Amino acid sequence: MNLAADLMPSSTATLAASPLVCWLEDCRKDSVALVGGKCSSLGELMHAGVRVPPGFALTTEGFRQFMHDSGVSSAVQSLLTGVDSENLDALEEISAQIRALIESRAFSIEIEDQVAECYRKLSLRCCMAAAPVAVRSSATAEDLPGASFAGQQDTYLWVRGVDEVLHHMRRCISSLYTARAIAYRANKGFSDEQLAISVGVQKMAKSFTAGVMFTLHPGNGDRSVIVIDSNFGFGESVVSGEVTPDHFVVNKITLDIIDRVISQKLICYTVDTRTQVSRVMDTPFERQNVQSIIDDEITELAWMGKQIEKHYSCPMDIEWAIDKDLPAGGNIFILQARPETVWSKKPQNLNAKPAGSAMDYILSGMLTGRRVS
């Protein structure tokens, strides 16, 4: 028996027509219709050689089969017929009915068996029983330059065991029908018949530090810099805005840190070792004002951001994590990457003028005797 072949799906394997479940490394950027924006981007990053935690996805075909076989699809369409996207109370009531309906139904035996087998192989690849995973929604209209659905659906961290994975898959599917998501799609002109969702299951990085990175300045559109925000623990506290993160601005050419702000970080998300669930905790007092990521890691992150931007040929919005259980040099992982959707839509000559170009910075360093590389 070839264990390696059993555990590692071939990167050159061609996806079967309309699979119910597939591995992330078998996806590419043109797989959006099959696995949504988030999962297709992760597969594309793997193909480009970027360090991404392994995982698999329930495809949009699996989603459609579940909705049809469980009888949910017709009920949802009936509830949404004639809905007023401006009536928030009515939307909340309809949303609660739809979500309860979806979460109460079971997947088919076929889908359950395929998910269980992929989770078993993923756990073996991670060399642990019931590997902790992140269960993330990946909508087909999500993370696209023309329509950012980012944050409209849910993500669940540190999920363990196949029953919990299946449960949180249904919760991700039901999050497609939050009142906010229903209203957003209605206002943007996306019909529910055109929308589908995939659910990604990805090995959880045991984050010492995590956060977000933009390959331009999100405040003024300056494309000569990379901006990194970080906090201890999982990146949820940074993405949700629950904490003021440490803030670093990196010169995109030299990778020098040209600005840093170390904030007081009062909370962080981490795993509760007793209950084995992710939860918010108070940051120990002695760490609240300590820089959450070292300079060498900032430099490596910025270099990775440059490679991702080059691969996609556009400014990127990236989520990352540093795994505390792995040695330096191989412990920084990219969890998500999507095109930046604010400044990228504006003509560059309308962007705010940068504080200084990369060449200005290099020449300034030469004149003052400062080391710039």
Convert the pLDDT of each residue in 32-47 to its tens digit: 999 998 999 999 999 9
Question: According to the model, what pLDDT value does residue 276 have?
Answer: 80
| Tokens representing residue 257 in the block | 């840190």
Q: Specify whether 323 is located in the same domain as 234.
A: yes
**Share of residues in the chain with pLDDT > 90 (%):** 65
pLDDT digits (tens, 9 = 90+) for 75-131: 988 898 888 888 989 999 999 999 999 999 999 999 999 999 999 999 999 999 899
Q: Could you tell me which of 7, 29, 31 has the C-alpha nearest to residue 19?
A: 31
At 273, the pLDDT band (50, 70, 90 cuts) reads confident
- H or E segment to which residue 98 belongs: helix 88-104
Pairing mode, strands 257-261 and 246-251: antiparallel
| Tokens representing residue 195 in the block | 């929308």
| Tokens representing residue 298 in the block | 């900032």
**Mean predicted confidence (pLDDT) in 175-198:** 82
Q: Specify whether 250 is located in the same domain as 308.
A: yes
Query: How many structural domains is the chain composed of?
Result: 2
- The DSSP line for 236-253 is HHHHTT-S--EEEEEETT
Does pLDDT of 357 surpass 60? Answer: no
Please state, in angstroms and rounded to a whole number, the distance separating the CA atoms of residues 169 and 190: 23
Does pLDDT of 209 surpass 80? Answer: yes
Q: Report if residue 22 sits inside a domain.
A: yes
Residue 287 DSSP class: G
Q: Report if residue 71 sits inside a domain.
A: yes
pLDDT digits (tens, 9 = 90+) for 310-325: 999 999 999 999 998 8
Give residue 347's region: left, alpha or beta (phi > 0; psi -120 to 50): beta
Please state, in angstroms and rounded to a whole number, the distance separating the CA atoms of residues 156 and 182: 20
Q: Please tell me the least confidently modeled range out of 1-5, 147-151, 209-213.
A: 1-5
Q: Which residue among 171, 188, 203 closes a domain?
A: 203
CATH number of domain containing 40: 3.30.1490.20
Q: Specify whether 40 is located in the same domain as 136.
A: yes
Q: Specify whether 239 is located in the same domain as 274.
A: yes
Give the three-state DSSP class for 194: coil
Does pLDDT of 163 surpass 60? Answer: yes
Q: Specify whether 65 is located in the same domain as 192.
A: yes
Please state, in angstroms and rounded to a whole number, the distance separating the CA atoms of residues 322 and 206: 8
Q: Could you tell me which of 246, 278, 282, 247 has the C-alpha nearest to residue 266?
A: 282
At 346, the pLDDT band (50, 70, 90 cuts) reads confident
pLDDT digits (tens, 9 = 90+) for 10-35: 433 444 468 999 999 999 999 999 99
Please state, in angstroms and rounded to a whole number, the distance separating the CA atoms of residues 269 and 237: 6
Show Cβ contacts of residue 189 under 8 Å, excluding neighbours closer than 6 positions: none
Q: What values do phi and psi take at 302, rounded to 5?
A: -65, -40
> In angstroms, how far apart are the furthest CA atoms of the chain?
71
Question: According to the model, what pLDDT value does residue 365 have?
Answer: 53
Q: Report if residue 373 sits inside a domain.
A: no
Residue 233 DSSP class: B
